[in-house]
Amino acid sequence: MSYMMSACGVICSECPAYLATAKGSAHQQLTVDAWRRIYGLSETAENISCGGCLGPDEDLFHTSGRCLARRCCRRHGFSSCAECPKESCQDLERAQSVWDEVPHIGSTLSPADFEAYAHAYCGHRSRLSAARASGRDPRPSVPAKNEEKGGQATSERIGLKRPR
């Protein structure tokens, strides 16, 4: 699976909703159960699927369609807000604020639940800042979640340690 980052810095390709229909109904149901337990969300299994933040509206998880940062990126042809000449804006701040509490919630999860249901949403601000500072697409520099190097899980290597 290729790496995909959202407009605001979330790792779409590591979200359990990403291409979930292809992963099957059992995966979708596990995600519904976990999201209900972790985030208090009330979804149905058939709603758990997304083609990624910058994909077509009809392929999005229903809450992503309302994201103004996503709409702005699509309108301007950006792959993320890191490409925008504005340092910050209200749309980006609103989009990023949705994910700010996930690391705190993550501290209550098992390592497996953290990796499966929280990791993709953590570090979004620093990931987007790094992409902006580097002036290039951040995708090649961030390895896949399951890749190992030097005995550390990827989430630890890129600064997304599970809060303790």
- Note the pTM of the prediction, 2 decimals: 0.77
Is 134 part of a structural domain of the chain? yes
Distance CA(45)–CA(29), nearest Å, equals: 5
Dihedral angle at the C-alpha atoms of 82, 87, 91, 93, nearest 10 degrees?
90
Is 164 part of a structural domain of the chain? no
Structure token pair of residue 46: 């058939």
pLDDT (0 to 100) of residue 1? 63
Cα–Cα distance list, 81 to 9, 31, 41, 130 (Å): 8, 28, 27, 12
pLDDT (0 to 100) of residue 137? 52
Is 3 part of a structural domain of the chain? no
Angle at 155 between CA 125 and CA 112, to 5 degrees: 115
CB-based contact 144:155 (threshold 8 Å): no
pLDDT (0 to 100) of residue 77? 93
151: domain range?
A: 12-157
Among left, alpha and beta (phi > 0; psi -120 to 50; other), residue 24 is left
Q: Indicate the number of domains in the chain.
A: 1
Is 85 part of a structural domain of the chain? yes
Is 163 part of a structural domain of the chain? no
What does the pLDDT profile of the chain (164 residues) look like in tens digits? 688 999 999 999 999 999 999 999 999 999 999 999 999 989 999 999 999 998 889 999 988 989 999 999 999 999 999 999 998 899 999 999 999 999 988 889 999 999 999 999 999 999 999 999 987 554 433 333 333 333 333 333 233 333 44
Is 124 part of a structural domain of the chain? yes
* 8-state DSSP, 138: S
pLDDT (0 to 100) of residue 3? 86
Give 44-102 as a DSSP string.
-GGG--B--TTS-GGGS-TTGGG-HHHHHHHHHT-SSGGGSSSS--HHHHHHHHTTTTH
Structure token pair of residue 81: 């807000």
